[in-house]
Structure 1
């Protein structure tokens, strides 16, 4: 008695998918069923690789800080801190100073909140901070100055830096405007809620 149900279910599913395809919109079945609007997804999720690619474009980065340290930053590695709802960036650092006989290597670990910037339609890094600075050798005598230099660099380098920019068609459908809402850091991605404006 259950056999006729399967073809009926298949016909219904095919009709739903055909409805989406007929409008020339490529969406997942989950996106068809969202409560926001039948053809606007309720959220977008960006992978760690997408964020890595966006941050990578900023490097290598070189800067003289307070006329004391020449700092070169390379090899950013993006991570996610879901418990703190922040993105982390680990960087290789090379510091040179007239106060040190030779350049030293170290590692800076920074983290940042995310926010939506309506003017640029971008998800951007906000309020970056230095979580850890690790240097070796003679540079350890200048830990306080290096931490201060790292904080300046974090602000200059990452504040309002876009990691994803929405296309206009991603935030508009049938004359209705949408915008990103809550931004949540997951263990394997960043989930951005889409809400009606």
Structure 2
């Protein structure tokens, strides 16, 4: 029996089970409510990603024993055209190498990946896309950008933005896992496939 035939057979069995249960709900609602991955995907919202990222902030760290970095106020943006998530951050950097602390706004972006060990969709290889320094601090933009990029990468690389419960990826002895991850304008769609 082919992989597709097995999937169709399982779905037919589950829909028949829903119908046999005599519920007043539609088969689609039954499949979605009782067997959440039968529709073959899961979508979570931009707000859920915002809430997950927000838990890491404010973030303060000393870098290379010369810089005190402070990152605050993350704002998550979805970039479907690049299939990436962007995070805008307020940053402040103090160092004995500069007269006074400098501050600015940084935008990082990251692709998403599946981490099977933690059962999580994670940020992968974030990079600084834009640095906006304020006032006289603009002269330090490149140096500050490099320090902040290092701090942000260490903070957000492999950071989980959604973790699946074990029972969400198991049904009737069959294991499932995320496949293609697609950034939409209003959320993130994770394809669910049989292992």
Cα 1:39–1:147 change in 2 (3 A) is closer
Question: How many corresponding residue pairs?
Answer: 178
Q: How does 1:97-108 map to 2 (within 5 A)?
A: 97-108=95-106
Does the 8 Å contact 1:31/1:41 carry over to 2? no
Of 162, 165, 168 in structure 2, the residue corresponding to residue 167 of structure 1 is: 165
User: What whole-Å deviation, never above 9, does each CA across 1:9-35 have from its counterpart, x for those lacking one?
Assistant: xxxxxxx799279499x99826738xx
Of 164, 176, 182 in structure 1, the residue corresponding to residue 180 of structure 2 is: 182
Q: CA RMSD in A?
A: 2.8
Does the 8 Å contact 1:106/1:135 carry over to 2? yes
Residue 19 of structure 1: aligned partner: 18
Residue 115 of structure 1: aligned partner: 113
Residue 85 of structure 1: aligned partner: 83
Residue 7 of structure 2: aligned partner: none
Cα 1:39–1:111 change in 2 (3 A) is closer
Residue 95 of structure 1: aligned partner: 93
User: What whole-Å deviation, never above 9, does each CA across 1:30-83 have from its counterpart, x for those lacking one?
Assistant: 6738xxx89633101010000000000000001122333211111100000001
Residue 3 of structure 1: aligned partner: none
TM-score normalised by structure 1 residue count: 0.81
Extract unaligned runs of 5+ from structure 1: 1-15
Extract unaligned runs of 5+ from structure 2: 1-14
Judge which range, 47-56 or 59-68, deviates more: 59-68
Does the 8 Å contact 1:66/1:149 carry over to 2? no
Cα 1:43–1:62 change in 2 (3 A) is same
Q: Kindly name which structure, 1 or 2, has the bigger radius of gyration based on alpha carbons.
A: 1
Cα drift, residue 144 of structure 1: 2.0
> Alignment partner of 2:100: what SS?
coil
Question: What CA distance in whole angstroms lies between the structure 2 residues aligned with 1:154 and 1:133?
Answer: 13
Question: What CA distance in whole angstroms lies between the structure 2 residues aligned with 1:23 and 1:138?
Answer: 71
Question: What CA distance in whole angstroms lies between the structure 2 residues aligned with 1:23 and 1:66?
Answer: 65
Does the 8 Å contact 2:179/2:191 carry over to 1? yes
Residue 6 of structure 2: aligned partner: none
Residue 13 of structure 1: aligned partner: none
Of 116, 119, 139 in structure 2, the residue corresponding to residue 141 of structure 1 is: 139
> Alignment partner of 2:99: what SS?
coil
